[in-house]
Amino acid sequence: MANTPHELAEEFPEFVNKLRHMREVDGHFYRISNEYHEINRAIHRAETDIEPADDFHVEDMRKKRMLLKDEIYGMLVNHEMVDPIP
């Protein structure tokens, strides 16, 4: 599969290290980032007709992705790292 747009590292390049750190130490963050990844891939497959979907379903998936992205961003900017990243 080609490059999938909207990956979290592309969306938040300034938080790449923090993304990795939070996935390791925060179970909720790990779950929602996985959910974001899964829905982002599903949208990509629908948009490229690998797994076609009707427009309403794709729109619902995009809205869900946006909500997850907003929650992820909020956690990234409000999280204070206790242990410095090596």
Residue 36: Cβ within 10 Å count: 22
> pLDDT tens for residues 2-44?
568 999 999 999 999 999 999 999 999 999 999 999 999 999 9
User: Which pair of structure tokens corresponds to residue 15?
Assistant: 């938080």
- pLDDT value of residue 28: 97
Q: Where are the domains of the chain?
A: 16-78
Q: What is the mean pLDDT of the chain?
A: 91
Predicted pLDDT at 32: 98
For residues 50 and 85, which has the higher predicted lDDT (pLDDT)?
50
Q: HEC states along the chain?
A: CCCCCCCHHHHCHHHHHHHHHHHHHCHHHHHHHHHHHHHHHHHHHHHCCCCCCCHHHHHHHHHHHHHHHHHHHHHHHHCCCCCCCC
- Per residue in 57-66, pLDDT (tens digit) is 999 999 999 9
